[in-house]
Structures are given as C-alpha cells and as structure tokens.
Structure 1
Amino acid sequence: MRLLPIEFAKPGDFLAKTIFDNDGRILLREGVALTDFYLAMIKRLQICSIYINDEYNEAEIEDVIKPELRQHAIKAIKEAFYSFEKYSLYSTNTNIDEKKVSKEKRVYFESIGSIAKKIIDEIISKKNVMINLVDIKSMDNYTYQHSVNVAVLSLVLGVQLQLNQNELYTLCIGALLHDIGKTLIPKQIILKPGPLTDEEYKTVKEHTTKGYDFLKGCLEIPAPARIVALQHHEKINGRGYPDNIKNKSINKFARIVAIADVYDALTSDRPYSKAMCPNDAVEYIFSHGDTQFDYEMVKVFSKAVVPYPPGTLVKLSTGDIGVVMAVFPNFALRPQVKIIKKGINSSSNEVGTTVSLVSQLDIVIRNIEFAV
C-alpha cells in the first residue's frame, strides 16, 4: 500500500487502511473500491491523504499499534479534552461544584493512564519497532489524533533510548497531554486556515503555561509528565518558549516529545499547511539537531523512521521511477527499488529490474512520486 494525497486518488483504487469518522466509527473499511461518491465523502471530512492499494503495490504495512487501540485512545483524549474545555469555560462561575469537577478530572486522567499502559504494552511486545506509517488525520479531529500519535512516536524513541517501564509510562502520559493547554485557547485561533497574526501566535504560545497550570495540581499525573506540557516547545539553543531554557535544563521527556511533536505535525495536513513527505520531515529534524532538538536523540529517532515505506513510488537520480520493495535496517534512505518506468534519458536499468541502493551508491532518490 502507499500514501496518496486525496487529489491523486481515483475511482477504482482500493482503500488500504480503514477510515474512521470524527467519532471513531468506521466510515469506509479497507479493501473497498473507491468511487466518486466515496472520494467526495472523504474530502468532506477534510481528510487530505489516504492509503491505497493499486497496481504498483498491495503489500500491507503494519502500524505500530492496532487500529482499534488507536481509535480507543483518540476517543478517550477527545472526551477528556472536551471536558477540560468545559471546565475552563465555567472556571469563573462561583457556583461550580469543585468536588464534582475534581472527581470528573480524576476519572478522565485514570482513563488516560489506562490507555497509556495498553499502548506501552503493545509497543514493547514488538521487537525493533519502526515508524512505517503516517497517521491519517481529519482537520476537525487533528488535536486528538495528533496527541495519540505523538505518544506513539515518543514511545518508539523512548524504547530505542532504553527507558525503563516507569519512564515509558511517564513519557506516554506527558505526550498524550502535551497539548492540553490548547483546550484553553480560542478555537477560532487553533483552527484558523491561514497564517496567524503576531498577536494570535502570542496567544497560541500560551498553551504551554496554561496546560501546565491546569495539570500541576493533578496528583494523578506524574510531575515530569506535567513538565512536558510546559517545556515541549523549548529548544536546545535556548530560543524556544515559554522560558528560553536550553540543553539539559529541558526535561528529558520534553526533549523526546519535542521531536515526535514536530515530526507528526510536519507529516500531517493542517488547516494552514499541506503535509510534508516523511523523508523531508526527517531531514528537517536532522538539520535542526543541536539547535532545536537534542542531537543524540535525533540520531536515534532517524534510525527508527522509515522515510520510504514499501509501496512508495520514487523518482531516482537516473530519471527512472520505481516502487520501494524493501527497507534495510540502518539504511532507511537507501531501500530496494523495483523499476516500473524508465526515465527519458535513462540508460541504466530496465523495467522490472530490482535495484538495491545500498549497493548502487551512485543512485539516489530524488523525490516521492504520486502518479506514473
């Protein structure tokens, strides 16, 4: 299967990953043949990319966690965030029942803790977990889907960094709740379809302190997890926010979440920007190691991501177009590629030839293709 911007999908393509609506219900099951009606329905949900099976590849790519667990986690985060948003709207109401609010918050945090344990169990049960897939998100559900995906990405990096079980739990809770402060920011700013004004950007940046203030009295949340909400936008060079701290002064879990947060944001379609291809997102993160991110963590993360998953169509430096057939551990940027179309001036490989870029060092991938 391969990831495709919705505008490149056509009737007759087969859906390779089930699509869920904004309430977590199955909208279209994997395997269904796409029609004009289905494509229009997907666009109305503001889903900008989908996975398909076509004549180039039908191989399945396994997600890091099961789809059912992912949807369960998204639903739990969505319900919790909705509830927290409600609390903030009525925080000035002197008649509010503080004990009831405190009890409800405890129930939601316990639910999130239960979800975190299930995600951790699933990830650590697998050996050599690699990040093969970009999670498909709708614009309306972006914040909740993003929170779950950042948790998954953070855990994959945490496992690679050999964190223990308790550390992984704290990391997962921090990642799931890193953007909780956005429930306290006006929605018209969070969902604005264009560039933010300086004043709006200043307001958005407040989500770190607002989120931390919301969590700091919650004893159900480990203290380092609360710090993640505050520090996940700090930068190694001290030019982040809210406190301009640098290097190891930034909480370890916040440094991990910062990488996962940016990677998932870059590879997601958002109201104000189109998704970046995974290879470009990895290059962006690598180029900002030692300025924005912890460089040692970046090196580990880059080895855990597969920028060109099997099924990806790529254009080679020879001008040939091929489909990625296999990825080699520690050489994710140099996969095995099957040529499906010769370049105009290519004299190297015939159609049907399989090329290992690990051994043919004179050939590189120029870019990802969506149509042949």
Structure 2
Amino acid sequence: MRLVPIECVKPNTLIGKTLYDIEGRILVRSGVILSEGIISKIKEINILSIYIIDEYSSEEIEDIIKPELRQKAILTMKEAFSNINRLTVADKFSKKESVYFNNIENMAEDLIENVLNNKSVLLSLVDIRSLNNYVYSHSVNVAVISLVLGTALKLSKRQLQYLCTGALLHDVGKSFISKEILMKEEELTSEETSLLQQHSNLGYKYLSDSYNLSANSKIIALQHHERPDGLGYPNGLINDEINTLSKIVSIANAYDALSTGRPNRKAMFPSDVLEYLMSNAGKIFDYDIVNTFCKIVIPFSKGTLVDLSNGDIAVVQETLPNFPLRPIVKILKSSKTETINNDINLIDEISIVIVSIRYEL
C-alpha cells in the first residue's frame, strides 16, 4: 500500500484505505476498484492523495491510531471549532460551551490510550485528507504526532493529557481570523501575516476567558510559534522561557504542515522536512526534542517507490529506528541487472541516497 497524489491515480486502481467525507460518512471503501467517475468525484471533494494497493505495495500500512477514532476526533474538532463563533455572550461559562471542551478532553484521553496501547514506537502518518477538512484533521494530526513524541520523551500520563488537549486546541485562535486570510492561495501581505499571527493571542485569551482548562494546555495555544532564538511570536521568548509542551507542539505543527499539500504549495519531500527540522534545531525548534523526533519518524513508509542517487528505482522494505532517511530498499530497476530484486541497506551504502518519491515505474 502506498500514498499517491490523486492526479497520478489511473482507472482500475485498487484503493487501499477507506475514504470519508467531511461529516465522517464513508465515500469509498477500501478494496474498491476505482473508475474514472469515482476518481473525478474524489478530486471534486479536494482529496489530494489516496492509498492504493499494487504489485509493489500489497501490505497494509497501519495508522498509529484506529481509523474510526481518527474520524471521531476530526468530527469532535469540527463541531467545537464550528460553534465557537456562534456562541453568544450568555453562553460563556455555560454548559452549552463547556460540552465542546469536555468532548475534546475526553477525546484526548481516547487518543492517549490508543497511542500508549500501540506496539509501534515509530511514527508513520497515514491519514487521507480533504482540504475541506484541513483545519480539523491538522489539529488531530498535530495531537497524534505530539503524543508519539511526548511518549518518546517519557512524559507522564498527566503531562500527555495536557499535551494532547493543548495540541488539539493549538489553532483555536484561527476561528477568529477571517476565512479570506486563512484560505488565501496567494502569498499573504505583511498586514495579513500580522493579522494571522494574532491567532496565538486570540486563542489563548479565548481559552483563558471561556473555560477552566489546565494552564499547561492553554499555554500551548499561546506559545506554539515561539522560537528558541527569540524570533518567534507573539512574545519573542527564548529557550527555557518556552514551555516544553509548547516546544513539542511546535515541531509537530511544522512537520504536519510541511508534509501536507495545499492548492498553492506542494507537500515537501519527507527527507526535506526532516532536513528542515534538523537544520533549524536550536533556532526555530528545540535541539534535543528535534533530535528525538528524527529518531522516531518514518518519512518513507513500506511500499514507497523511490529514485536513488545512482539512478536505480527501488521500493522501501523497512525503516530501522534512529535512521529514518536510510531505509532498506529493494531494487526494481537498474542498469546493473544483477542487482535487480536485491535488498540494499542504505545505512551501509552511504554513497547512495533517496532523491525523490515516484508514483509509477
């Protein structure tokens, strides 16, 4: 099973994972053979990539959380975010408002249990996104990434609860930013960028004024764009002035955002995202936390077709802990015919690197 951009999917392809609409209803079940009509409908609802099954990637890629839990979490965030601006002043501090936050805290508990019960310590993102659902799925993904990273950092269960709740709500302030700015496809003006950056303060103020969340969760909404070098916002904090949970969410937020394609920006190549994080460790991101993150993430899932720097085409077979950019690959095409179907461990072959992902031979 491998993730392929929808524009590269051809008719008669076998879909690998079930697709859902913005309301969590099943659109296309896994195992269905895609026709031109189905592919067109998938494009219409702004799903950019889907998982397919073919001769190179027949094995299932398991999500670190259960698919039904992911859908439930996305719907929980959609309900909460969609209703925030509809609440009247009279609703403040009322049961009507608190129910949304209670649901989010309960969802955080479910996500924690799911992550802690998962035997895998490596993180491979397998969610399929519609741009129509981006804000909500992004919040859930940031929470899941943060949890896996927090677990690797050996945080207590209580700290994980604060972390997950804060990660789910880290972008709540964007509910108060105009949709024209949030959805703009062109580059933002300096004035628009300044307005967008207000979401950190707006989110923190809303959480502080509206609901009795733990301060450890609230601070994440305020600080997730702060940087160790002091060039972040809103307060230009440095190093230990930034809460540790906020540092974790900062990395999770960047990784998910850069890994996701948008209409005005293609998703970054997985190794480029990790290189970006590593090159900015100690400046934009906490050095030690980035170091831990790069040991647990899987940028190339099993079954991914890749181009190698020596001109060969290969399929990823396995990623070993601590070496995310150096997986074991199986050679599919090569000018050296004797190497075809051989496995190569890129940890040993230091002169060979993965230069790109490909979607067909």
User: Aligning the two structures, in what range does the TM-score lie when normalised by the shorter sequence?
Assistant: over 0.9
| Structure-2 residue corresponding to 1:368 | 357
Of the candidates 253, 258, 262, which is equivalent to residue 261 of structure 1? 253
TM-fit CA distance, 1:136: 2.1
| Structure-1 residue corresponding to 2:266 | 274
| Structure-1 residue corresponding to 2:328 | 336
| Structure-1 residue corresponding to 2:53 | 53
Q: Amino acid of the residue matched to residue 66 of structure 1?
A: K
Of the candidates 174, 182, 202, which is equivalent to residue 194 of structure 2? 202
2:127 corresponds to 1:135: yes
Structure 2 CA distance for aligned equivalents of residues 3 and 128 of structure 1: 20
| Structure-2 residue corresponding to 1:185 | 177
TM-fit CA distance, 1:315: 1.0
| Structure-2 residue corresponding to 1:160 | 152
TM-fit CA distance, 1:128: 4.0
Structure 2 CA distance for aligned equivalents of residues 349 and 287 of structure 1: 38
CA deviations on 1:29-71 (whole Å, 9 max, x unpaired) are 1111111111111111111111111121111111110010000
Q: Is the 8 A contact 2:112 2:147 kept in 1?
A: yes
TM-fit CA distance, 1:134: 4.2
Q: Aligned to 2:86, what secondary structure does the other structure show?
A: helix
TM-fit CA distance, 1:187: 1.0
Question: Please, which runs of 5 or more residues in structure 2 have no aligned partner?
Answer: none
User: For residues 313-332 of structure 1, what are the structure 2 equivalents within 5 Å?
Assistant: 313-332=305-324
Q: Is the 8 A contact 2:228 2:285 kept in 1?
A: yes
Assess, with a 3 A threshold, how the Cα gap between structure 1 residues 366 and 135 changes in structure 2: closer, same or farther.
same
User: For residues 30-49 of structure 1, what are the structure 2 equivalents within 5 Å?
Assistant: 30-49=30-49
| Structure-2 residue corresponding to 1:235 | 227
CA deviations on 1:270-307 (whole Å, 9 max, x unpaired) are 24312123222111111111110001000000111011
| Structure-1 residue corresponding to 2:90 | 97
Structure 2 CA distance for aligned equivalents of residues 234 and 265 of structure 1: 16
Q: Is the 8 A contact 2:173 2:202 kept in 1?
A: yes
Q: Aligned to 1:153, what secondary structure does the other structure show?
A: helix
Structure 2 CA distance for aligned equivalents of residues 324 and 279 of structure 1: 14
Q: Aligned to 1:234, what secondary structure does the other structure show?
A: coil
Q: Aligned to 1:332, what secondary structure does the other structure show?
A: coil
Q: Aligned to 2:147, what secondary structure does the other structure show?
A: helix
Q: Aligned to 1:97, what secondary structure does the other structure show?
A: helix
TM-score, normalising length: structure 1: 0.94
Tell me which stretches of 4 or more aligned residues in structure 1 moved more than 6 Å: none
Q: Aligned to 2:65, what secondary structure does the other structure show?
A: coil
Q: Amino acid of the residue matched to residue 122 of structure 2?
A: M
Q: Is the 8 A contact 1:15 1:51 kept in 2?
A: yes
Q: Is the 8 A contact 1:339 1:349 kept in 2?
A: no
- Alignment identity in percent? 47
Structure 1 CA distance for aligned equivalents of residues 242 and 2 of structure 2: 37
Q: Is the 8 A contact 2:171 2:199 kept in 1?
A: yes
Q: Amino acid of the residue matched to residue 84 of structure 2?
A: F
Structure 1 CA distance for aligned equivalents of residues 196 and 298 of structure 2: 31
TM-score, normalising length: structure 2: 0.96
TM-fit CA distance, 1:135: 2.5
Q: Amino acid of the residue matched to residue 129 of structure 1?
A: V
TM-fit CA distance, 1:98: 3.8
| Structure-1 residue corresponding to 2:3 | 3
Structure 1 CA distance for aligned equivalents of residues 278 and 60 of structure 2: 28
CA deviations on 1:204-226 (whole Å, 9 max, x unpaired) are 11100000000013453111110
Q: Is the 8 A contact 1:179 1:208 kept in 2?
A: yes
TM-fit CA distance, 1:183: 0.5
Question: Please, which runs of 5 or more residues in structure 1 have no aligned partner?
Answer: 91-95
Assess, with a 3 A threshold, how the Cα gap between structure 1 residues 165 and 370 changes in structure 2: closer, same or farther.
same
